[in-house]
């Protein structure tokens, strides 16, 4: 028995398999389930082995998702149930994401909460005294001496 699909070894083969997968998915026939699963595995392996790992900080990820979904900060404020000022502070690295905001955004964009729950640097006026302070949803306490 000859295999219909093999390990992806070239960019041309990768593109061919991606196109084939797209056709099978939109065909909506249940006869192709095994082919869809196999192509998905082969494409994911190629992606893992050949594409650079993109690991943006949560704010860059949110901005990219907003652009992809044609959302404005006003839309994000409605999604999160906060005012536009809060969204502006979040997008400008002045306020950290709350656990509630992370849950809401993860559900809205259908992504994992872990992708938004990573440390990143805030640029809050109270933290300007601390150089390279990596923060996640916190403010550094000022020591008065």
25 pLDDT band (50/70/90 cuts)? confident
pLDDT at 133: 44
> Domain check: are 20 and 44 in the same one?
yes
Q: Is residue 110 part of a domain?
A: yes
144 pLDDT band (50/70/90 cuts)? low
> Domain check: are 41 and 64 in the same one?
no
SS3 string, 66-83, reads HHHCCCCHHHHHHHHCCC
Instruction: Say how far apart CA 18 and CA 43 lie, in whole Å.
Output: 7
Res. 30: pLDDT tops 90: no
- Give the predicted TM-score (pTM) of the model: 0.53
pLDDT at 66: 93
> Domain check: are 92 and 27 in the same one?
no
> Domain check: are 122 and 81 in the same one?
yes
Total count of domains within the chain? 2
Q: Is residue 140 part of a domain?
A: no
6 pLDDT band (50/70/90 cuts)? very high
Residue whose token pair is 């400008």: 92
Helical pair 58-68 and 84-91, crossing angle rounded to 10 deg = 120
Q: Is residue 141 part of a domain?
A: no
Would you give the end-to-end CA distance of the chain in angstroms? 79
pLDDT at 72: 95
Range of the domain at 43: 11-50
DSSP output for 29-67: -GGGHHHHHHHHHHHHHHHHHHSPPP---HHHHHHHHHH
> Domain check: are 37 and 95 in the same one?
no
> Domain check: are 36 and 85 in the same one?
no
Interval 98-124: pLDDT, tens: 999 999 999 999 988 988 988 888 876
> Domain check: are 92 and 128 in the same one?
yes
Please, how many CA atoms are within 13 Å of residue 20, restricted to the half-sphere of its CB?
A: 18
pLDDT at 29: 72
> Domain check: are 65 and 114 in the same one?
yes
Res. 136: pLDDT tops 80: no
Q: Write the DSSP symbol of residue 8.
A: -
Structure tokens at 108: 């809205």
> Domain check: are 44 and 73 in the same one?
no
> Domain check: are 68 and 108 in the same one?
yes
> Domain check: are 64 and 104 in the same one?
yes
Instruction: Say how far apart CA 104 and CA 119 lie, in whole Å.
Output: 18
Mean pLDDT, residues 59-72: 92
């Amino acid at each position: 028995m000859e295999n219909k699909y093999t390990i992806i070894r070239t960019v041309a083969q990768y593109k061919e398999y991606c196109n084939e997968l797209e056709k099978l998915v939109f065909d909506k026939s249940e006869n192709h389930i095994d082919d869809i699963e196999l192509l998905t595995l082969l494409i994911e392996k190629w992606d893992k082995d050949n594409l650079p790992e993109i690991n943006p900080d949560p704010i860059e990820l949110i901005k990219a998702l907003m652009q992809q979904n044609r959302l404005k900060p006003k839309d994000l404020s409605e999604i999160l149930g906060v005012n536009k000022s809060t969204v502006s502070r979040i997008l400008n690295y002045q306020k950290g994401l709350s656990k509630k905001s992370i849950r809401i955004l993860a559900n809205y964009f259908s992504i994992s909460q872990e992708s938004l729950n990573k440390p990143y640097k805030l640029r809050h006026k109270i933290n300007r005294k601390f150089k390279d302070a990596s923060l996640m949803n916190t403010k550094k306490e000022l020591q008065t001496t």
